[in-house]
Structure 1
Amino acid sequence: MTEPVARVRVDAWAWAVRLFPTRSAAGAACRAGHVRVNGDRAKPATAVGPGDEVRVRAGERERLVVVRRTLVKRVGAAVAVECYEDLTPPPPPREEVVVVARRARGAGRPTKRERREIERLRGH
């Protein structure tokens, strides 16, 4: 296991604790303004240490983590989760989409198979 260091680059740390799949993706996210350290936009070389708050936006999701231990080398997932405290709120529940059986206009009467599928969708 690697020895913890006092302060490290935010792109290297975010990659080491598996917030990003590659180091270059972590650096690109920093340059694009998707990474904030203690509320301020972070460049890839911004130093982070224990107690710093890192906010990462990846896609639709935003993660909020507090640095507990600093790493430079990438570690396994079990060790990585010990290096930060995840304060991300849970995502909102997904809304279920109801499937409505619709036939194309002018398609004629449904076949026996199509009628059975429509009844199965309606719950009959």
Structure 2
Amino acid sequence: MKTTFVKLFVLGAAIAVAACNSNKKAAVKEDGTEVVKIRTPDTTEAGKEEEKVETVAVQGKVGEINKGKDGYTAILTTDDGKIYYATISIPNLKDPKQYRSVQIGETIKVKGDSWKMEDDNYITVRELEK
């Protein structure tokens, strides 16, 4: 009797773990039937474009600063006119000692993970140079 109980318990635990790791999304219709959709990665060109992350170094003049919860976003304009939204926060920096406030009009150099959303360029700053 004990071994049967243990086997059922282990089987139930295995099913519960497998269900948590599932890529399926279920919805119940009004008539009681269940519709299951399997989430797959976005393989369209737009999806691939959004996933592209590259490391870049950018030097630009700070035009605006938007303060956030644990840092700020500095809007940088480079010499060639490109605009970057650089998110600068202690948790994202490789060395937290690099964190500092910048002023509007100051020219700074940042390195970090860059990506593009629509027509805007974003950088998660990993290094803030003085």
- TM-score bin, normalised by smaller chain: under 0.3
Normalised TM-score (structure 2): 0.21
Normalised TM-score (structure 1): 0.22
Higher relative contact order (CA 8 A, sep 6+): 1
Greater strand share, 1 or 2? 2
